[in-house]
């Protein structure tokens, strides 16, 4: 096969290159010829080109290789298309700022599922073989409207109890509807597709389906948008997979290797489509979904995914400006971030004449997404990490009776138990509420520290909950960072978890900083806590816990101004120490608990300060996630000596 490609390389290159580099787009005809010459069936080649926006041959090949086991690969399913007007230039900057600030202040609402736009038609279907003609219909319509398109578009702010938007002034809106009708006629003539122009009032949706108490904040932010700013409105054509139109879109955060035949393999950066109707027979903590990158379906762990925006998996097929020379683009793929490169009204081509030709790379193996460990970190970052695997969870609440004799002497009975434990002035029974970590817990923590070191992540200060499991985890992270003995852990009681979760009528009898240091843990014995032990109350309310966590985090960051901080605490800390720092309101206690139960040992998050605004935002951590599975106790006598 390779020699066949090489023999016709020059001929194929002359077919692909002139069109691609002269117009900035790849015609399906030329790319289709290449794919057919490689032996792909026509229906699959067309599906791959449409599913990647006709970007180039390499993208289509990658799609085909990853979808080789997709059960719908040979099904003649059309995609759904939609025509939008999308802003660019100064107005886009204003709208993007509103999107970011509204999300930080009030959380995500329905408007955040799709980028800022004006809808010109309803979703409609188009067969793969007619998509190129559809794109030509849009370009022809835009060309006829040059000089006729209303500029500027006059927008007026409208707010109600559950909706905020910018409405197009009525006379101008009628002109836009004529443009949409012209496109519908052109699409019917060129591509034989039925397009239904949008009949409702034309508008840019800013927010809807939000909590009533968020209205004043959202309205204030919306009034800050200067609608008189210049804007080159682009006519853009997107498509989505018709199978998942009513599914929830989720982003894969961590890799997962299936343990059973009915499970789905996960790769970070992929998306999963999930239908509520398909979740009836799933076990707790598991969901059923379909991979965007492979088309395969199966069960997957719920805590490996997070919510994404609906448009994250849409494909761009064309972007055309009504001003100046035409600037079509078929640089498709997922649409997130596309407008960042088209502020001048043109979409940046994903390949330039200096890039390798598509024919020179079409036989390369498909590369999975990798985390760039050399990415530069922001100037100031807060890292929050859960402690490592704990003894009382692995070996049960009666582990003390297994490991301590009548005289209180410790003897480990499993290799995953530490060789020794710190002495406690109150006796070994104090371990009942203040469990140490296992040997594997120490290994987990050291691996995280080593990953931080390899990624060149700077940690300036380390804070820990007073729980022994947290201090031990922080110590082993410092070992991995090669900072044990050089950097001291500040033990902060204010970072302890929600005291309502502590059994009994008293809090744990924690080891003092001096006792921790005597146990060779790298602890700062001179540190004076922001919230001392005597300020913690048993069975505190949820509001008290959330306020305490927010207060101590702010005070820690104020003390460490200009420096990166690592907090090692509890599963609840990843949410409690970062949510309000982002300007978001606390979740209710029920939703909070659902988030906490999904955070594994050594769960790790990063929160970045946004300039001098005092607002923080969650970002991708600089290290890969750490996945681990259960390992039950093995008794060789019971297993191998059975009759």
**Which two tokens mark 209?**
């389906």
The DSSP code for 437 is: B
Residue of 28, 86, 198, 386 marked catalytic? 386
Catalytic, 292? Answer no
Mention every residue, 6+ apart, whose C-beta is less than 8 A from residue 540. 498, 499, 500, 548
- Tell me how far apart the terminal alpha carbons of the chain are, to the nearest angstrom: 58
**Quick count: other Cβ atoms within 10 Å of Cβ 394?**
19
Distance CA 281, CA 287 (A): 9
Distance CA 163, CA 111 (A): 9
64 neighbors 224 (Cβ within 8 angstroms): no
Distance CA 70, CA 59 (A): 17
Half-sphere exposure of 273 (CA within 13 A, CB side): 21
50, 77, 43, 48: which is closest to 65 by C-alpha? 48
**What Å distances lie between residue 381 and 156, 490, 499, 529, CA to CA?**
39, 18, 27, 21
Residue of 117, 346, 570, 579 marked catalytic? 570
Mention every residue, 6+ apart, whose C-beta is less than 8 A from residue 209. 109, 110, 162
**Quick count: other Cβ atoms within 10 Å of Cβ 103?**
18
Q: Which three-class secondary structure state does DSSP give residue 118?
A: strand
Query: Given the DSSP bridges, would you call strands 79-86 and 118-119 parallel, antiparallel or unpaired?
Result: antiparallel
| H-run or E-run covering 318 | strand 315-321
583 neighbors 105 (Cβ within 8 angstroms): yes
Distance CA 215, CA 208 (A): 10
Calculate ∠ Cα 263-265-266, nearest 5°.
125
**Which two tokens mark 417?**
């138990």
31 neighbors 307 (Cβ within 8 angstroms): no
229, 236, 231, 234: which is closest to 322 by C-alpha? 234
**Which two tokens mark 253?**
């955060």
Residue of 387, 424, 530, 548 marked catalytic? 387
154 is in an annotated binding site: no
Catalytic, 97? Answer no
**What Å distances lie between residue 311 and 239, 271, 499, CA to CA?**
9, 11, 41
270, 41, 139, 187: which is closest to 49 by C-alpha? 41
Catalytic, 387? Answer yes
Binding site, annotated residues = 469
Binding site, annotated residues for substrate = 469
**Which residues belong to the active site?**
386-387, 570
């Amino acid at each position: 096969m390779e020699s066949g490609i090489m023999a016709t390389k020059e001929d194929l290159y002359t077919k692909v290159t002139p069109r691609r580099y002269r117009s900035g787009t790849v015609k399906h005809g030329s790319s289709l010829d290449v794919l057919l010459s490689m032996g792909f069936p026509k229906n699959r080649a067309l599906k791959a080109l449409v599913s990647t926006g006709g970007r180039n041959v390499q993208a289509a090949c990658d799609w085909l290789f990853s979808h080789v086991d997709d059960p719908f690969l040979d099904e003649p399913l059309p995609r759904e298309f939609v025509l939008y007007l999308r802003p660019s230039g100064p107005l886009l900057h204003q709208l993007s700022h509103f999107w970011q600030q509204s999300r930080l202040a009030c959380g995500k609402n329905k408007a955040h599922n799709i980028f800022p736009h004006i809808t010109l038609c309803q979703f409609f279907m188009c067969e793969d073989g007619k998509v190129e003609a559809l794109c030509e219909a849009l370009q022809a319509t835009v060309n006829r409207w040059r000089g006729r398109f209303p500029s500027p578009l006059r927008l007026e702010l409208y707010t109600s109890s559950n909706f905020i938007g910018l409405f197009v002034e009525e006379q101008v809106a009628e002109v836009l509807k004529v443009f949409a009708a012209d496109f519908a006629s052109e699409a019917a003539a060129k591509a034989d597709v039925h397009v239904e122009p949008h009949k409702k009032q034309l508008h840019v949706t800013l927010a809807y389906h939000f909590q009533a108490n968020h209205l004043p904040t959202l309205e204030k932010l919306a009034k800050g948008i200067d609608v008189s700013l210049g804007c080159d409105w682009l006519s853009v054509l997107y498509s989505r997979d018709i199978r998942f139109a009513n599914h929830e879109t989720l982003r894969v955060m961590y890799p997962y290797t299936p343990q059973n035949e009915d499970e789905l393999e996960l790769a970070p950066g992929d998306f999963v489509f999930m239908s509520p109707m398909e979740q009836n027979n799933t076990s707790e903590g598991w969901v059923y979904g379909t991979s965007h990158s492979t088309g395969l379906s199966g069960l997957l762990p719920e805590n490996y995914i997070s919510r994404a925006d609906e448009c994250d998996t849409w494909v761009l097929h064309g972007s055309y400006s009504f001003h100046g020379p035409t600037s079509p683009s078929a640089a498709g793929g997922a649409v997130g971030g596309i407008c960042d490169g088209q502020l001048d009204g043109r979409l940046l081509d994903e390949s330039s004449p200096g890039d390798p030709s598509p024919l020179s790379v079409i036989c390369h193996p498909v590369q999975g997404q990798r985390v760039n460990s050399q990415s530069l970190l922001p100037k100031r970052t807060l890292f929050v990490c859960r402690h490592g695997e704990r003894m009382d969870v692995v070996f049960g609440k009666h582990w003390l009776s297994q490991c301590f004799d009548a005289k209180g002497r410790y003897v480990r009975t499993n290799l995953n138990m530490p060789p020794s434990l710190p002495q406690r002035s109150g006796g070994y029974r104090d371990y009942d509420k203040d469990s140490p970590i296992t040997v594997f817990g120490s290994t987990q923590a050291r691996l995280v520290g080593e990953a931080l070191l390899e990624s060149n992540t700077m940690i300036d200060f380390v804070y820990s909950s007073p729980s022994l499991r947290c201090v031990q985890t922080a110590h082993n992270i410092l070992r991995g960072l090669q900072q044990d003995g050089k950097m001291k852990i500040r033990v902060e009681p204010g970072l302890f978890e929600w005291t309502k979760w502590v059994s009994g009528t008293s809090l744990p009898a924690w080891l003092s900083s001096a006792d921790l240091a005597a146990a060779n843990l790298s602890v700062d014995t001179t540190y004076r806590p922001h919230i001392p032990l005597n300020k913690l109350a048993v069975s505190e309310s949820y509001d008290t816990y959330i306020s305490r966590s927010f207060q101590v985090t702010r005070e820690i960051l104020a003390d460490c101004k200009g420096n990166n901080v690592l907090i090692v605490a509890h599963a609840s800390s990843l949410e409690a120490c970062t949510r309000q720092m982002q300007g978001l309101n606390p979740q209710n206690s029920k939703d909070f608990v659902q988030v906490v139960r999904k955070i594994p040992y050594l769960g790790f998050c990063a929160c970045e300060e946004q300039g001098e605004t005092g607002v923080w935002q969650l970002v991708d951590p600089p290290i890969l996630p750490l996945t681990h599975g259960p390992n039950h106790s093995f008794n060789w006598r019971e297993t191998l000596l059975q009759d």
